[in-house]
Structure 1
């Protein structure tokens, strides 16, 4: 495994780092206050190619593979997580389905405009009765001639208020359970597609999630994504593909928290000396660094496996679990190192602390990741013992 990036990708990384540190990050407090990402930031993000991270070159994207995406995600993760989530949702679960499962006609229609950011993507799976149990969908799609009529609702849909293209999961055959779920591409403005109220969240300000309703929503048959009945499999692939990217974004946030903590520990004086000279603070910093390097190593290993076309169901779940747990641990230590300053809104530490919490819930809870890992271990055990029998 060689995770060394080429000169072109390294130049891109440096440019993104400069953009994030000098253009986006100084506006973190403003984004937090206004719950809005300034339009000029989004415009610049599109111009430098951030909306095309997941899209192949032939459709106008960067075509840099999962390792390359993780390099960019790590840099993006260094700033306000609301901004990070808007970009990450679009380039991850919002567009990967079309890239991986779309027909050539679908790719030609949507991907070039998604690469430039003209169209923003969202992923609509979660429902009031179907969160961790993603097979318990109530949204139904009934085929009538050359159309499907979709009825139902979704909630907690990231990017929904700004999305132009939704990847939607719905039941097409209730008798088949998970094998009766189909995925669809639904465009903004489609009759019967209604965007509901925007949720007030603990964190991720500037990134908006909302309910989505389908009331006799007519979707043409050519907007079926993949094969009818393969929607649940598609959802697992889309979520699995994005987990290395999410871990890389968490990694960037962890690195930023370590840098802020190191700086503060050298500047803050207690008992006549900088607190960095206190052994307990040194231990906190050492533990943070150890967690970061562990996360970095596994993130890029899983990304490499994705690029090699390997099965990463277990490893993707591991990296999602590890990334969210480490981010929360590091955010907690950063608050402790900063003391009272880490608890007030004048400094970004408390914001990272709040933002970190959702990573243990969205795109598959930590508990579900453990279930996936255990299930894969049992399958591997059964397969190896069957061969040896």
Structure 2
């Protein structure tokens, strides 16, 4: 039996990382890219370095035509059709390769990244995943080649996070041949140059909205607002779209009547993990620009890269980038494996892809939050390394910081995604897909038991760190389990408690992913070759423990009192205690020295 088959057999369901151990050999890492994937990565990097990076300044001048031109070139290179099945003129590549292209094409500017993501994701995917055969044959080849561009019209002035509350109406004609759509959409990426929009509207008084494929035609009651004035992503076309009795043939309804909300939610799941991917190369490039400047900038007769304060920043930036890569590609491969399993069981491409992504919706939300916040912190520290020059629009950090800010808002705000991650996990537990009750009960019993005073054997690499991850999972089960017991279905009304629980969940997944990647690589390449990666895994976990300790304490005191509170706080202290506290300064110096020596992000 092949290792690949073994890995599929051992594949956990979404959310099960919390209650089941994942073996290092079963995670996918960027070091596992196939030769084909490496060629694709290098091809995308070469395109970005040649076509996009040199034009960074131009992207700040609201040059929407430049974005459109480069999108067309990306289409000629095949990048717009990476995930599109071959029968619709795409490359038909797997989820990991799709993620890889999103990752490396997004590094130079948020403007192009947004246009690319909106087109290949929410502009194309709803048709490939929900369209009829006729719809796919008519539209998808044009979208895959870049002949046409797509947009996604969901948000309205009164319907943002509450997407299903949209007021746009679709009225069936008397002859039953078309729908007339009337309403207003806002924040529509690619609106200024799209040929097609996925539009959501309500038919009569339906509970749920319905999706439609609408060709852009100003003669058919479609008008656009002016380009929005935005903090960042200046050359990403963002406009309001107004529909005034726009006629849409009945055969352009996407999926069935009232199924638009389902389409919107599943499109967002894919968008969330890809948004995480779209932040990765931006982090790598920010770190590289930061260390280059720090090595060149001399103060007090010393390159500032040699100062401890700057080393600390470079180490933390590199660590968060490495963690984001580790978790993103772990989840991407899990999704790809689940898709393959579904196909082997006889599911269609559409059904397999939908169910594969839906299975890992929790991880998609986790990644969206974690990596979007890491890129913001990374660009912020990039400005700080540049000092006064960082505040100047002539340096690369200022635009990078502004472009990064949108990532915490779109594909569902980070607050919504935090609450979703915990909410989805609890729903999975109620359906029996993830056993939270059993492990939570064991943790509750452990709180009243006598702790072990034996000194554990930590001679193996990451032995203590992996034990710490197991203890951090107990923290989540203790807090969330008690909260569910106390509030039941009303838990969703306690948003601050949900946010605290989500931060615990996020840090567990990110820290575990970083440790498993490093452990896997240390076993096959040798520990000496992974010295800096080992330092990053330990540094990330150190911060995760601190965050979890703080957020769990906040959660516990919000709903527990008296003896229950004292017992849980004692448990928290036990579950977040190191036997051997890492030397954080030494870890940072190890990481920073490597980045400074290589003069770039080099992991």
Q: Which has the larger radius of gyration?
A: 2
2:317 equivalent in structure 1 = 288
Q: Distance in 1 between matches of 2:89 and 2:38?
A: 20
> Which consecutive unaligned segments of at least 5 residues does structure 2 have?
1-26, 340-355, 442-603
Map Cα deviations across residues 328-370 of structure 1 (whole Å, 9 max, x no partner).
1111111111111111011111001001111111121111101
What CA distance in whole angstroms lies between the structure 2 residues aligned with 1:266 and 1:168? 50
The worse-fitting range, judged by mean Cα deviation, of 56-65 and 305-314 is 305-314
Q: Are 1:97 and 2:126 matched, yes or no?
A: yes
Classify 1:281/1:152 alpha carbon distance in 2 versus 1 (closer, same or farther; 3 Å). same
Gaps in structure 1 of 5+ consecutive residues: none
Provide the rounded CA distance (Å) in 1 between the counterparts of 2:201 and 2:393: 41
Distance 2:413 2:301 in 1: 45
Cα pair distance change 1:386/1:43, threshold 3 Å: closer
Deviation at 1:387, TM superposition (A): 8.1
* Whole-angstrom distance in 1 between the partners of 2:226 and 2:73: 28
Q: Distance in 2 between matches of 1:380 and 1:102?
A: 28
Is contact 2:181-2:247 (8 Å) kept?
A: yes
Asked whether 1:6 is paired with 2:34, we answer: yes
Match 1:25 to one of 30, 53, 60: 53
The Cα of 1:299 is off from its aligned counterpart by: 1.0
Q: Deviations over 1:83-130 (max 9, x none)?
A: 121111111111010111111100000011111101100011000000
- Asked if structure 2 preserves the Cα contact closer than 8 Å seen for 1:140 and 1:152, the reply is yes
Q: Is the 8 A contact 1:241 1:306 kept in 2?
A: no
Which residue number in structure 2 is paired with residue 324 of structure 1? 372
As a proportion of its length, which structure holds more helix? 2
Residue 261 (structure 1) aligned to one of 290, 303, 306? 290
Q: 1:284–1:98: structure 2 CA closer, same or farther, 3 Å change rule?
A: same
**In the TM superposition, what are the counterparts of 1:161-180 in structure 2 within 5 Å?**
161-176=192-207, 180=208
SS at match of 1:197: coil
Report whether the alignment pairs 1:108 with 2:146.
no
RMSD: 1.8
Distance 1:53 1:128 in 2: 34
Give 1:268 deviation, angstroms.
0.9
Q: In the TM superposition, what is the alpha-carbon distance from 1:386 to its structure 2 partner?
A: 9.7
Asked if structure 2 preserves the Cα contact closer than 8 Å seen for 1:73 and 1:252, the reply is no
Give the whole-Å Cα distance in 2 for the aligned partners of 1:86 and 1:266: 34
Partner of 1:127: 156
Deviation at 1:173, TM superposition (A): 4.3
CA contact (8 A) 1:241 1:316 kept: yes
Q: 1:345 and 1:22 mapped to 2: Cα distance?
A: 22
Return the match for 1:69 from 71, 87, 98: 98
The alpha-carbon distance between structure 1 residues 276 and 184, as it changes in their structure 2 partners (threshold 3 A), is same
**2:481 match:** none
Q: 1:159 to 1:34 in 2, by over 3 A?
A: closer
Distance 2:54 2:102 in 1: 18
Distance in 2 (alpha carbons) for counterparts of 1:303 and 1:377: 19
Deviation of residue 379 (structure 1)? Answer: 1.7
2:411 corresponds to: 363
| Large movers: runs of 4+ above 4 Å | 383-389
Q: Corresponding residue for 2:303?
A: 274
The aligned runs of 1:1-389 (5 Å cut-off) are: 1-3=27-29, 4-38=32-66, 40-144=69-173, 145-176=176-207, 180-189=208-217, 191-307=220-336, 308-309=338-339, 310=356, 311-383=359-431
Q: How much has 1:46 moved relative to structure 2?
A: 2.0
Does the 8 Å CA contact 1:51/1:117 hold for their aligned counterparts?
A: yes
Closer, same or farther: CA 387–288 of 1 in aligned 2, 3 Å = closer
Aligned partners of 2:178 and 2:247 also within 8 Å: yes
Give, in angstroms, the shift of residue 215 of structure 1.
Answer: 0.7
Number of matched pairs: 386
**Is 39-48 or 315-324 further displaced after alignment?**
39-48
- In 1, distance between residues paired with 2:367 and 2:281? 14
Q: Say which structure is richer in strand.
A: 1
Deviation at 1:242, TM superposition (A): 1.7
TM-score under structure 1 length normalisation: 0.95
Task: Label 1:386 to 1:326 Cα distance change in 2 as closer, same or farther (>3 A).
Answer: closer
Give the distance between the partners of 2:58 and 2:182, measured in 1 at CA.
Answer: 39
Cα distance in 2 for residues equivalent to 1:124 and 1:40: 22
Deviation per CA, 1:233-282, whole angstroms, max 9, x where unpaired?
11001111122211111111111101111111111111220111111111
Q: Provide the residue aligned with 2:578 in structure 1.
A: none
Find the aligned partners of 2:214 and 2:377 in 1 and give their Cα distance. 38
Structure 1 residue 136, shift from structure 2 partner: 1.3
TM superposition score normalised by structure 2: 0.62
